[in-house]
Structures are given as C-alpha cells and as structure tokens.
Amino acid sequence: MSTGVSVNIDILFADNHCLVVNKPARLLTLSDESGDETLLARARAYHFARQAPGKKGYLVPLHSLDRPVSGAVMFALSSKAASRLSEQMRGRDIGKTYLAVVEGRAPAKQGVLKGALLKDRERNVTTVVDASTQGAKSCELAYRVLGQKAGLTLVAVEPRTGRSHQIRVQLADAGMPIYGDVKYGASVAWNGQIALHARALAFTHPVSKAPVDIVAPVPAVWRDIWSGEFNV
C-alpha cells in the first residue's frame, strides 16, 4: 500500500482505524533499557506524517514480537479500534499463524503442545515448569509440519495462549529449538535473529466488521536456510 510517505516501514494494511506492519528481525517492537530504535517509533512517524498540519494522530500497539522475531504487528489508530481489537485479543478471536524453521524433526506431522511456563524477568528467560509452580502460567500451541530437509523442519504454529517466549520455549522443550535461537537450545547463532516469523493475522475489522486476513512476506534471508515454499 503506497501513501507517498517516506518512512522505513513495511505496511501490510492501513486505514483510519488500524495499521499492520511487517517487523524486521533485530528491531525492537517497544522501547527497552537499550534505547535502541523501535518499530513503534517508525509506526508513529509513518502515521503522524499522514495527519493534517498540527495533528499527531492516535496510535497504540496491540501486541509485541520479541526482538529477534520478524512478522506482522498490529496497531490501533483510534480509541474505538483499540478497545474492540483488544477485546478480540483477550477473547483469542484474532487468528495468529507463525512460521518457524527448527532444528531436528518434529515428534509428529502435527500436534498440540501443552504445559506451564514461568518467566524470570530479571534474566528475561522463560522455562517449562510443573503446573503447580507458583507463578506458572498455562500454555498451549498447535503445530503442523510443512517440510523437512537437511536436518531442519519447517513448521506452522498457532499459539492458543500468549505467554512470553512461548513458541520458542515450547518448541525447544519438544526437541525442536528454533534455528538461530541459542538462548533456547539452538546449536548455531544467526546474526541476532531467529527463524520465527509472524506470518498471518486474521481479525474482524473493528468498525466495518469485515474479516481481514493479513499475510506478512517471509524475510528474504530465510532463503539462506530454507529454499522451499512458505505456504500456510
């Protein structure tokens, strides 16, 4: 979608109520103690540049992706949209599909992984724990195998809960660490990124009520590790 606004951002969908962009790996979604550039800042620059003189415009993030992860991120551009889309998020009415290239082979062609996770906020590490552990949160995701080659497997993942680092930790616990994710057991690093991509978002438009389906192109660098198709 072209708007004539020159900002370094990949727009997947934009109207007066919501904005979906394709986040590159290694870019923060939101600010942290590093002070590095964020996707939020780029989205605001893009949105503000579209406003009438003297107007800044409303923009809030509805979810976030880890720094080494790429893919679709959605922002609300009005308070009405923020409320209605947040309600869809809470009700798990927004469909999210991720692609991941993992090391090794999946235990089955498709399956559901369930468990409990505990986040250590000081170390920014999440671990699989017994469900009775204090502070533990339940987690669940579904996966299906799309292809296998050279010791790697391409999987589509649909998270059913939204825990911190959930996909990364649950796949690693199942013997499928994500390529490049040395934090969670991968054998090799990958220049500050991991092979996890938020591929698709499906939601109900907060105003028109029409179904919206977004597909985020896979980063070109993925061809370095996976030469096949990325259909889901």
pTM as predicted:
0.94
Per-residue confidence (pLDDT) for residue 116, from 0 to 100: 97
Answer yes or no: is 23 within a domain: yes
Confidence check: pLDDT of 3 > 50: no
What integer is the mean pLDDT of 168-197? 97
pLDDT for the residue numbered 70: 98
Domain total of the chain:
1
Confidence band, pLDDT 50/70/90 cuts, at residue 158? very high
Structural domain includes residue 208: yes
Whether residue 2 lies inside any domain: the answer is: no
Token pair 């599909």 is found at 97
Contacts 24+ apart (CB under 8 A), 207-211: 207/17, 207/80, 207/81, 207/84
Residue 110, in any domain of the structure:
yes
Does 6 score more than 70 pLDDT?
no
What pLDDT, in 10s, does the model give residues 93-137?
A: 999 999 999 999 999 999 999 999 999 999 999 999 999 999 999
Q: What is the pLDDT of residue 5?
A: 44
**Between 35 and 6, residue with greater pLDDT:** 35
For residue 232, tell me if it sits in a domain.
no
- In this prediction, residue 53 has a pLDDT band, given cuts at 50, 70 and 90, of confident
Task: Give residue 194's domain range.
Answer: 11-224
Cα torsion 88, 154, 128, 72: sign = negative
Whether residue 7 has pLDDT greater than 90: no
Which active-site residues does the annotation give? 66
Per-residue pLDDT tens over the stretch 60-87: 999 999 999 999 999 999 999 999 999 9
Domain containing 152 — which CATH number? 3.30.2350.10
Q: What is the pLDDT of residue 2?
A: 40
Report the pLDDT value the prediction gives residue 230, as an integer from 0 to 100: 92
Residue 88 pLDDT: 96
Q: Is 4 inside any structural domain?
A: no
Residue 112: inside a domain? yes
